[in-house]
Chains A and B, each alone.
Chain A
Amino acid sequence: MRIDASDLHYRDLNRRIREAAAAGTKSFDLLNVNGQRYIGDGIAGAEVEIDIHGVPGNDLGAFMDGPTIRVHGNAQDAVANTMNAGRIIVDGHAGDVLGYGMRGGELLVRGKVGYRVGIHMKAYRGRRPVIVAGGTAGDFLGEYMAGGLLIVLGLETTNGEPLIGDWCATGMHGGAIYLRGEVDPRQVASNFADLRAADAEDLQDIRESVEAFCEAFSLDAGRILGDGFMRVGPISHRPYGAKYAA
């Protein structure tokens, strides 16, 4: 189903998608998208595919449960907010607060990502949410992270550009963050998380996700995985365990 989104309010655009998806439409081509929010919000079904041409607005794929979204361009803030399952691929850059409380599925961003990415991501049962950023990430990466996988590849960064911002892993109590390249230890919250070089076993842990990323953007996974990764992991699953007087 093709929808020309020019001059469509998000409410009308999303209603059309919701109704068509409920009626069994599996494939959507959205043209001239220009900042409409909440595309794919709460939509279920692993077979549903949404192709977005243009720039979707905030909360793309919020509460989504299964579909695949491909953005042929940049995306804005709060992509994959509390997403349960599914796949979002962004060909360009994406904004702040991506994957907040994300519980499952994959978010692959070819370019850079903004501040507060992967806050409170959590794994549950068979679900393990994954965010891969091809470029760099801003401050507060993986804050309060409770589960899942955050990978920052730092591809095509200019010399001296930091891979991540400050306050990475503040409040972290689960999951793992992998950073390809050098990281200033002062950028990682040492009271919550450990920073160390990734070993062979760790690389095995991220192989599948990096391969998926490379396949999505036609890159060479072997070359990327060959470089040195740093790993950030939680010190404790009970960060506030000792805070209180008994």
Chain B
Amino acid sequence: MSSTPTDTKGKDRARAAARARAQRAPVYRRSADFRWTHDPEQCARCKRCVQQCGFKALSWEDGPVVDPEKCVGCHRCEMFCPQQAIAVVPQVQHYRPHPLWTQAHRQNLYLQAETGGVLLAGMGNDLPYPVLWDNLLLDACQVTNPSIDPLREPMELRTYLGRRPDAVEVTLGGDGPELATEMGPTLELETPIIFAAMSYGSISLNAQKAIAMAAEECGTLWNTGEGGLHEDLKPYAHRAFVQCASGRFGVHADYLNAGAAIEIKIGQGAKPGIGGHLPGEKVSAEVSETRMIPVGSDALSPAPQHDIYSIEDLRQLIYALKEASNYEKPVSVKIAAVHNVAAIASGIVRAGADMVYLDGFRGGTGAAPTIIRDHLGIPIEIAIAVVDQQLREEGIRNQASIIAAGGIRSSADAAKAIALGADAIAIGTGALLALGCTLCQKCYTGRCSWGITTQDPALTRRLDPYVGSRRVGNLLRGWSAELEEILGAMGVNAIESLRGSRERLRGVGLDKTTLDILGVKPAGVGA
């Protein structure tokens, strides 16, 4: 295989382009992260690779030619090449290796020396922090406590989210017992897996539609994010969290009443303490309509919300939303998992929230400053444990459900999250992977080759929402079936029996302090 074009004309052009680049920046030359290689012998000259590249890294000069600076390693061309003539491989370290000054540190530093700007990244934290899920193991039955075969016996994954009363009162009348306690609104889900907030604007309408349709079909919930509710998605709104955040984009009384629940977004795991910012070039005519702002203007969601400086202020907004929706919609408050998360969550519950959504530091994003994404927040595993514990100790755990998100990769992670104390888990990155995402982390460029995090019609039409919803639905069905298997192996027949049951978890390779914080015994210790 050769990475250079075959004909001399193409070669000349590539060299001229390289010279021009070198002249532009005499000191710094941006080195490519990936090496695009192409086998001209195999190539059928169909030009498909050039058409498929969302990042415009490929052009046609009697054969495909790459601009190495533009290739982000999304692998779209490789997957669409009918001849398997393309291989995109990581560029090998070409500086002298240094354990402190890694290639990533050097590359970032050079880029900043050139631009003086803030580095951006998409998707979740990619640094090798410990993943606590991988240090936790689930229990199973042997001999003395029989396991259950989910094929033979019904398994219950049904999950209710929302406030539970402190006690229920029942009156006995002529027609038998009747519930006397007034119950608040709750959400009924067929599986404890919901979709994380991803706004129209950050993702394409087709991507949002695929997720919304899957949510409806699987009896779970999706989340509008802070981007308003597009006309086409109104039929699925009854299965949606409608979000209200600092920019108030698209928020009005009808919107609040259209959803299944309302979510106040305070923070996001990928960027704790940082607001959102949809650049003006992504505010197309249609995005502008849904967000109810002018075309082309920056859509800023500042952090903090400047009407919320305290738990009392938060309470004021929670009840403003409840009043606007006639107390018919449960209200969730979403926060990033940070050091003081337990006390904050307690305040949120006392402020009247019906759900607390915890987003761990590995959560995804369309765009965040890299330095924030990679260094702020705490793991979701820890956050679930400490929040559940705090709410129990205060005797208010019944007042709100806990939704956990931020780096949940499989049904096993989901089961462990639920055992730690989550009522439900939310997936964002997982759903996008199901839609084709290869985690190239370039969402912030708006050029996603899979038509997910882009508004370019040439790219978004690649994502068929019906095909997409089938794939996302399959993911939910697969994970749900696996959850049933896990429950069966543990000898319980309802997800409710696993919820908050940390006795069914054991830690491996964890220090004592971490085990104590997680409220989990080390492996080897029996009941």
Residues of A within 8 A of B (CB): 10-11, 14, 18, 37-38, 41-42, 44, 58-59, 62-65, 78, 81-82, 84, 97, 100-101, 103, 116, 119-120, 122-124, 140, 143-144, 146-147, 171, 173-174, 237-246
Main secondary structure of the interface of A (DSSP, over half): loop
Of B114, B247, B257, B319, which is within 8 A of A38 by CB? B319
- Asked whether any CB of chain A lies closer than 8 Å to the CB of B434, the reply is no
Q: Is the CB of B297 within 8 A of A173?
A: yes
Residues of B within 8 A of A (CB): 111-112, 114-120, 246-248, 251-254, 256-257, 277, 279-280, 288, 292-294, 296-298, 300, 302, 306-307, 316, 319-320, 323-326, 369
Of A63, A65, A100, which is within 8 A of B307 by CB? A100
Question: Would you give the shortest CB distance from B482 to chain A, in whole angstroms?
Answer: 40
Residues of B within 8 A of A41 (CB): 320, 323-324
Q: Is the CB of B323 within 8 A of A14?
A: yes
Residues of B within 8 A of A44 (CB): 253
Q: Is the CB of B115 within 8 A of A103?
A: no
Q: Is the CB of B253 within 8 A of A42?
A: yes
- How many Å lie between the Cα of A14 and that of B324 in the bound state? 10
Question: Would you give the shortest CB distance from A4 to chain B, in whole angstroms?
Answer: 20
Q: Is the CB of B293 within 8 A of A245?
A: no
| A-B pairs, 5 with minimum CB distance | A101-B248, A42-B324, A245-B117, A245-B115, A41-B323
Q: Is the CB of A103 within 8 A of B292?
A: yes
Q: Is the CB of B320 within 8 A of A173?
A: no
Of B119, B251, B253, B298, which is within 8 A of A173 by CB? B298
Q: Is the CB of B302 within 8 A of A244?
A: no
- How many Å lie between the Cα of A62 and that of B119 in the bound state? 38
Question: Would you give the shortest CB distance from A95 to chain B, in whole angstroms?
Answer: 11
Which partner residue on chain B sits nearest A66 by CB separation?
B253
Q: Is the CB of A37 within 8 A of B319?
A: yes
Residues of B within 8 A of A143 (CB): 306
Could you pull out 21 A-B pairs where Cβ atoms are within 8 angstroms?
A18-B326, A41-B320, A42-B256, A59-B316, A62-B324, A63-B253, A63-B320, A63-B324, A65-B252, A78-B307, A84-B253, A120-B248, A120-B300, A124-B293, A140-B306, A144-B302, A147-B293, A237-B296, A237-B297, A245-B117, A246-B117
Task: Select the residue from A62, A63, A78 with max chain B CB neighbours within 10 A.
Answer: A63
Residues of B within 8 A of A238 (CB): 279-280, 297-298
Residues of A within 8 A of B292 (CB): 103, 122, 124
Which partner residue on chain A sits nearest B30 by CB separation?
A246
Q: Is the CB of B307 within 8 A of A119?
A: yes
Q: Is the CB of B300 within 8 A of A97?
A: no
- How many Å lie between the Cα of A147 and that of B294 in the bound state? 9
Q: Is the CB of B277 within 8 A of A240?
A: yes
Q: Is the CB of A59 within 8 A of B117?
A: no
Q: Is the CB of B120 within 8 A of A244?
A: yes
